[in-house]
Amino acid sequence: MATEIQVKYKEKNYTVNVEEDNSIKLESIKHIDKNAVGLAHYNLGDAFRKKVLADSEGILRTREKWLKEVRLVIKEPDTNKTIVIDQ
């Protein structure tokens, strides 16, 4: 069963599909460099962070399941500027 999250980036809204292996393909968010490194924030009652890496195909991966409230904090490699992508 596919899951979708809504993200907002540069005043635009995108629907992003969460894959069966709990990864997110960034095909609909072209502005984010595929080599960006980010943090995924999970709301589990007790907040924690897990480092997220994008692979060569621009897929962010983490071992845990993506949950209802996910925030991605991405740093653009060129500018080192932080981008927050919220559901």
Domain boundaries, the chain: 3-86
Sheet containing 12-18: order of strands: 3-9, 12-18, 24-25, 59-61, 48-54, 37-42, 70-75, 82-86
Asked if 42 and 48 count as a contact pair (C-beta separation under 8 A), the reply is: yes
> Is the pTM here over 0.85, yes or no?
no
Predicted local confidence at residue 6, as pLDDT: 60
pLDDT by residue for the chain (87 residues), tens only, comes to: 456 666 555 565 656 666 665 555 555 444 444 444 443 433 333 333 444 455 555 555 544 444 434 455 555 555 655 555 543
Q: Which two tokens stand for residue 87?
A: 């559901």
CA distance 16 to 80: 24
Predicted local confidence at residue 42, as pLDDT: 37
Predicted local confidence at residue 69, as pLDDT: 43
CA distance 35 to 59: 9
CA distance 80 to 20: 30
